[in-house]
Structure 1
Amino acid sequence: MTTNVYLVRHAHSVYTPDELTRPLSEKGLRDAESILTTLKSEKIDDFISSPYRRAIQTIEPLAKYYQTEIKLNKAFQERTLAQGKVKDFNAAITKVWQEPDFAFDGGESNLNAQARGIKGFMSILQTYEDRNIVIGTHGNIMVLIMNYFNAEYGFEFWRKLQMPDIYKMSFSGKELMGIEQVLLKQS
């Protein structure tokens, strides 16, 4: 049997400084409907999400289609880059990817964020074995999880991610069998 985990990077959001309540934009809400169109035939069993509103809203139409609740899990919330705002986001994000054990004040290093994500991910693989699971998440933590299993998923891969984006990871037990992008269908 196979466990399939669909990692769904959230759709475009309206910027607010409050990470927890930042909502999807109008485009993001339309794209969430495309997630439904894309994955409704995949027989999804379970829905898990970062507690951040934009991640929940991205997978919500699909969960409603399946009449299944979304379970919140902090392991899949975005990494904290620093306490407060950084002066130059591009320079800051480049630094943490180049130096995996480096963390800005109040932030998580790549290694710490990855450890958090992997702990949650391994728990999902154990709890939901041989099922199809959708996880609503964020770009950095998603790629850090993928990177744990395959080093080709790194900084350059992260820079090319779309909002939203879907990657299916297939497992036999806890052994990765493959990763593939799931292309969005328009609703």
Structure 2
Amino acid sequence: MEKEIYIIRHCEAVGQPYEANLTKRGLHQANHLADFYSKIKIDQIISSPFLRAIQSIEPTSNEKKIDIVLDDRLSERMLSSIDLPDWLDKLEATFEDMELKFDGGESSQEATNRAISVIDEIIKSEKKSTIVVTHGNLMSLILKQFNEEFGFENWKKLSNPDIYLLKFKNNEFDCERLWQDC
């Protein structure tokens, strides 16, 4: 059975905390996502429990009358529990060394493993078409799993929101960017 997995990076938000809301522009983007999906058949929606991820997909959920399933494995990756003034350099290093880990943080490999466990469950399920809503770093790590050349520079080019489609058929996959920023 062919599977389509739409991986979405959340819309523009006011910040990084768990409870950060979407901006006014982000709310507009969420409605634009609903328009984007209006003619696409979707069987399920799985989202990070972070508020900005939920708010990003609520209009689509409401229009499609599909409940949003929250999954902690799609949560934002924590690079470190301490403030890292050079966090961007540190993040780049974690794309090169997947096992690199900072104080109280999660390695790229650990984050990849939890995210890919969601993707694996989707592939094994009876659902054909799934929306997965997550965060930029985790989205990049998922995509890197299917295209090892997807790296830090690709992460920097992601928009809020962004959409990539992973298609699986006969144990092969194809990955394509779908979103055109509005």
Do both share a fold (TM > 0.5)?
yes
1:18-74 Cα offsets, whole Å, 9 max, x none, are x22111111111011111111111111111000101111111100100111100011
- 3-state SS, counterpart of residue 113 of structure 2: helix
Q: 1:123–1:30: structure 2 CA closer, same or farther, 3 Å change rule?
A: same
**Displacement, 1:128?**
4.0
Letter aligned with residue 142 of structure 1: M
What's 2:33 paired with?
35
Pair 68,117 (structure 1): closer, same or farther in 2 beyond 3 Å? same
Hey, what's the Cα distance between the residues in 1 that align with 2:34 and 2:181? 9
Find 1:150's aligned residue among 147, 154, 173.
Answer: 147
- May I ask how many residue pairs the two structures share in their alignment? 182
What is the rounded CA distance, in whole Å, between the counterparts of 2:141 and 2:115 in structure 1?
A: 8
Aligned counterpart for 1:181 among listed residues 172, 177, 182 = 177
1:33-112 counterparts in 2 under 5 A?
33-112=31-110
Consecutive unaligned residues of structure 1, counting only runs of 5 or more, are: none
Q: Once the two structures are aligned, what percentage of the paired residues are identical?
A: 34
Q: Separation in 1 of the partners of 2:75 and 2:126?
A: 19
Q: RMSD between aligned alpha carbons?
A: 1.5
Equivalent position amino acid for 2:151 in 1:
G
Going from structure 1 to structure 2, the CA distance change for 1:149 and 1:178 (only over 3 Å counts) comes to same
TM-score (norm 2): 0.94
Question: 1:38 touches 1:184 (CA, 8 Å); kept in 2?
Answer: no
What SS is found at the alignment partner of 1:158? helix
Distance in 1 (alpha carbons) for counterparts of 2:121 and 2:42: 18
After TM superposition, the runs of 4+ consecutive aligned structure 1 residues lying more than 2 A away are 183-186
| Offset of residue 165 of structure 1 | 0.3
- TM-score (norm. length: structure 1): 0.91
State yes or no: 1:117 paired with 2:115. Answer: yes
* Higher mean displacement: 68-77 or 177-186: 177-186
Amino acid at match of 1:181: R
Which residue in the other structure is 2:165 paired with? 168
